Every structure is written in structure tokens, then in C-alpha cells.
């Protein structure tokens, strides 16, 4: 039952993307990408001919966002010839972003994958696509941060502006603030960055306050929606819908780039949100329908965070892809082939169904108060935005 409609959706993947790995015990583990890709292939809904092999981004492409001296430092780190001072200056002395062999190539490949997909969408060969190995939203123009070396989203956004004169909207629903992308375009009017995340009061990187709105000609082209810790599904989705729709309507993007970190899940070990797969399944469909309405469907979906690589990421990211091909949200059993193969490797019990089991879900007593705070913030953001637009 090959559906040719799939063929207008691209899927960036190569086993080489798994080489982006700081060290064996680091929480950022791209094995999740292989798990997701095999799950999708096993459903029969992702066809091998849709897979796009990533190329390496060139230095000129990286320079669209990143500083020359930073790229040089990453190249030095690639070969283990970086000085301590240089490592400290560029954020490579921290456990989060420790240098690893060939880190330049492996990071440039993530960016190259995104650019390949962008070219295919702009040429009309594809309508949309996803690059779940990308989404490294903390990388700054001149500094590594939060597991991120090169910011593939920011480079792609600038590439789309420079090469194709696009108005680009970035919608970031990762649990962490998309700070690297935001600061790359803080004084820019062609790229709008929207980020909904757990408040920086308690979580890395600490920024993303709702008063961060851009500067100079970029003023009003940054929107931040910092949510309370322990926010649950209904409040997340409502707050997201309420704040993202006015942004898309007002900015009128030519293309949307979305960052689909899945670390708002209650089982994610690094954050304090209380959402389930229900939210993670709905979010990409909301973004897809915005793209259908406002950008003629032009849409690139990236990955991002997600540190429960067995029980959360593969099912959640599968729905990023499913939303792109207009496949409804899945229910029932996962492909048996996938479960049987990976249960031998998983250190935890693998899920058997698409639905979250919720046997270990904790309902928070303060839900009402948390929800009320989120809605109040959404109101504040949208009324500021409405007033500005009128």
C-alpha cells in the first residue's frame, strides 16, 4: 500500500549521525535516532527511498551563523590539539560539551543534513521533511553549550534567508529554552523565534523569560513562553495553541522550522515537566496544520532533546514524521519485529503499545495553580502581541 504522497516528505538519516557522541555515559545519545528510524521502517509508513543522506556543511555555510575562530577551535578539538584556554573560551571544557574525535565533521554533518533537506523543499522536490538527528538549539555563534556544537536550526534559518529570501519562523517546543537560536537572531527581522519551555528559574539554560522579545529591528520577533514546572498535557497544549497561533498569523512566514525536543515528558530524566505522550503526539500535528494554512505546507521538523531513549523518544519522534505525512496518531501494538529486536539491547522494559501506560504517572496536587499561572502568562503574551499588531 505504497502511498506516493509520502514521497513529498523527506527523512534525513544515516548511521553516521550516531557518531555525534561526547562519550559513552553522556545523556545525549543518538541511538534514539536509530531506534526511531527502525520503528518507522517497521511500520511500513517510512519508505527507504524517502531517506536523505546528510552531507557535511561547508565552512562557508557554518559561517552564516558561527564565528570563524569558533569553527577553528572545533577543528582543533576534533584532533585533540586544543589548548585548555581555547577549550574554556569556547565552552569545550565542560562535561556537557566535552571534545570528541572528529567532532567537527560529525557536527557539520548534522548541519549538512538540514541544508540538504532545505534545498529539496525550496526546489519543490519535497513539501516537507524531518531531521530528527538535528535540533541543536543551544549552540551559540561562538560557543558550544548544552550538548550542542553547531546550531543546525540557526544555520538553516540563515541559509533560507540568504539563499532563498525566506521569512523563517522557528517554533521550539523542547523543554529547554531555544537560547542559541534566539540569540543568533535577536536583532534580526527575517527570522522569528518562538520558544515554549520549562521556566529558566529551575532549568538550564536559565533564559527565555517572556520579556525577552528581541532588540532593534528584531524587536517583537522573539516570543518566549516559560511554563511552570510540572505542567500537564491540557495546560501545555492550550497554552501552546493560544500563544503560537497569533505569532504565525502576524509574522506570515514563508517556511516553518520546528524543534521537537521530547523532554517535556514526565519520564524524562533531565527536566521537571509532567506531560505524557499525548502532548508529544499532538504538538507536531498542530505545527503541521499551521504550515498547511500559512506556508503552503513548507515545513522542516528537527529533533532536539529527549533523554529517555527507550520508552519515550522512538514513539514520540515517530509522530513527528507521521504528522508530516498526515498519518493519524497511532494506537495499539508497536511492530513486533521492533520490540523483539530491541528488547535484547534495552536496559529497561520496552513499551509494547503506542499509548503511554501511565502506571507510574504522578498527578500533582498543585495542578490548578500551575495551570492558572500558565494561562495568565499566555494571556499576558497574547495581549502584548495583539496590542503591538494593532
Binding site for Zn ion (CB under 5 A): 174-176, 261, 263, 305
Strand partners, 300: 129, 257
Burial of 207 (0-12, 13-18, 19+ CB in 10 A): middle
Query: Cβ closer to Zn ion: 267 or 341?
Result: 267
Q: How far is the CB of 293 from Zn ion (least distance, A)?
A: 27
Residue position matching grid coordinates 528488547: 343
Q: How far is the CB of 226 from Zn ion (least distance, A)?
A: 14
Q: How far is the CB of 268 from Zn ion (least distance, A)?
A: 8
Q: How far is the CB of 118 from Zn ion (least distance, A)?
A: 23
Query: Cβ closer to Zn ion: 228 or 263?
Result: 263
Q: How far is the CB of 276 from Zn ion (least distance, A)?
A: 17
What is the distance between the alpha carbons of residues 170 and 157, in angstroms, rounded to a whole number?
Answer: 8
Q: How far is the CB of 176 from Zn ion (least distance, A)?
A: 4
Report yes or no: 97 and 145 within 8 Å, Cβ to Cβ: yes
Query: Cβ closer to Zn ion: 6 or 176?
Result: 176
H/E element, 116: helix 103-122
User: Grid coordinates representing 22?
Assistant: 561526547
Query: Cβ closer to Zn ion: 76 or 265?
Result: 265
What is the distance between the alpha carbons of residues 339 and 91, in angstroms, rounded to a whole number?
Answer: 39
Query: Cβ closer to Zn ion: 176 or 288?
Result: 176
Query: Cβ closer to Zn ion: 104 or 137?
Result: 137
What is the distance between the alpha carbons of residues 332 and 244, in angstroms, rounded to a whole number?
Answer: 31
Q: How far is the CB of 329 from Zn ion (least distance, A)?
A: 23
Query: Cβ closer to Zn ion: 104 or 176?
Result: 176
Residue 341 CB coordination number (10 Å): 15
H/E element, 225: strand 222-227
Query: Cβ closer to Zn ion: 208 or 261?
Result: 261
In 134-221, DSSP assigns E strands to 168-172, 191-198
Q: How far is the CB of 66 from Zn ion (least distance, A)?
A: 21
CB nearest Zn ion: which residue?
305
Query: Cβ closer to Zn ion: 20 or 159?
Result: 20
Long-range CB pairs of 76-84 (<8 Å, 24+ gap) are 77/103, 77/104, 78/102, 78/103, 78/104, 78/105
Residue position matching grid coordinates 523563517: 168
Q: How far is the CB of 172 from Zn ion (least distance, A)?
A: 9
201 Cβ partners below 8 Å, 6+ apart? 226
In 120-221, DSSP assigns E strands to 128-131, 168-172, 191-198
Amino acid at each position: 500500500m505504497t502511498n506516493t504522497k509520502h514521497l513529498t516528505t523527506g527523512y534525513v538519516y544515516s548511521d553516521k549521525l550516531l557518531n555525534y557522541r561526547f562519550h559513552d555515559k553522556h545523556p545525549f545519545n543518538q541511538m534514539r535516532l536509530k531506534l526511531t528510524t527502525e520503528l518507522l521502517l517497521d511500520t511500513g509508513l517510512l519508505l527507504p527511498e524517502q531517506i536523505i543522506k546528510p552531507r557535511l556543511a561547508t565552512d562557508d555555510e557554518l559561517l552564516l551563523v558561527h564565528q570563524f575562530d569558533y569553527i577553528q577551535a572545533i577543528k582543533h578539538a576534533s584532533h585533540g590539539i586544543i589548548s585548555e584556554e581555547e577549550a574554556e573560551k569556547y565552552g569545550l571544557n565542560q562535561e556537557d560539551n566535552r571534545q570528541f574525535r572528529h567532532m567537527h565533521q560529525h557536527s557539520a554533518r548534522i548541519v549538512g543534513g538540514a541544508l540538504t533537506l532545505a534545498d529539496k523543499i525550496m526546489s519543490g522536490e519535497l513539501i516537507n521533511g524531518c531531521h530528527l538527528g538535528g535540533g541543536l538549539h543551544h549552540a551559540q555563534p561562538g560557543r558550544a553549550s548544552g550538548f550542542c556544537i553547531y546550531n543546525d536550526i540557526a544555520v538553516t534559518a540563515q541559509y533560507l534567508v540568504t539563499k532563498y529570501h525566506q521569512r523563517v519562523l522557528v517554533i521550539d517546543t523542547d523543554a529547554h529554552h531555544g537560547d542559541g537560536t534566539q540569540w543568533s537572531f535577536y536583532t534580526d527581522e527575517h527570522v522569528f523565534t518562538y520558544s515554549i519551555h520549562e521556566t529558566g528559574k529551575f532549568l538550564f539554560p536559565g533564559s527565555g523569560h517572556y520579556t525577552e522579545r528581541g532588540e532593534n529591528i528584531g524587536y517583537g520577533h522573539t516570543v518566549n513562553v516559560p511554563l511552570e514546572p510540572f505542567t500537564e498535557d491540557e495546560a501545555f497544549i492550550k497554552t501552546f495553541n493560544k500563544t503560537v497561533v497569533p505569532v504565525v498569523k502576524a509574522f506570515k512566514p514563508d517556511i516553518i522550522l520546528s524543534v521537537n525536543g521530547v523532554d517535556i515528558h514526565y519520564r524524562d530524566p533531565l527536566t521537571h515537566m509532567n506531560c505524557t505522550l499525548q502532548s508529544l503526539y499532538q504538538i507536531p500535528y498542530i505545527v503541521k496544520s499551521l504550515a498547511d494554512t500559512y506556508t503552503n505546507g513548507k515545513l522542516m521538523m528537527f529533533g532536539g532533546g529527549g533523554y529517555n531513549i527507550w520508552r519515550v523518544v522512538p514513539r514520540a519522534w515517530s509522530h513527528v514524521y507521521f504528522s508530516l505525512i498526515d498519518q493519524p496518531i497511532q494506537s495499539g501494538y508497536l511492530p513486533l519485529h521492533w520490540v523483539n529486536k530491541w528488547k535484547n539491547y534495552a536496559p529497561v522494559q520496552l513499551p509494547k503499545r503506542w499509548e503511554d501506560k501511565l502506571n507510574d504517572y504522578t498527578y500533582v496536587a498543585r495542578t490548578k495553580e500551575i495551570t492558572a499561572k500558565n494561562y495568565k502568562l499566555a494571556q499576558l503574551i497574547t495581549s502584548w502581541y495583539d496590542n503591538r499588531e494593532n
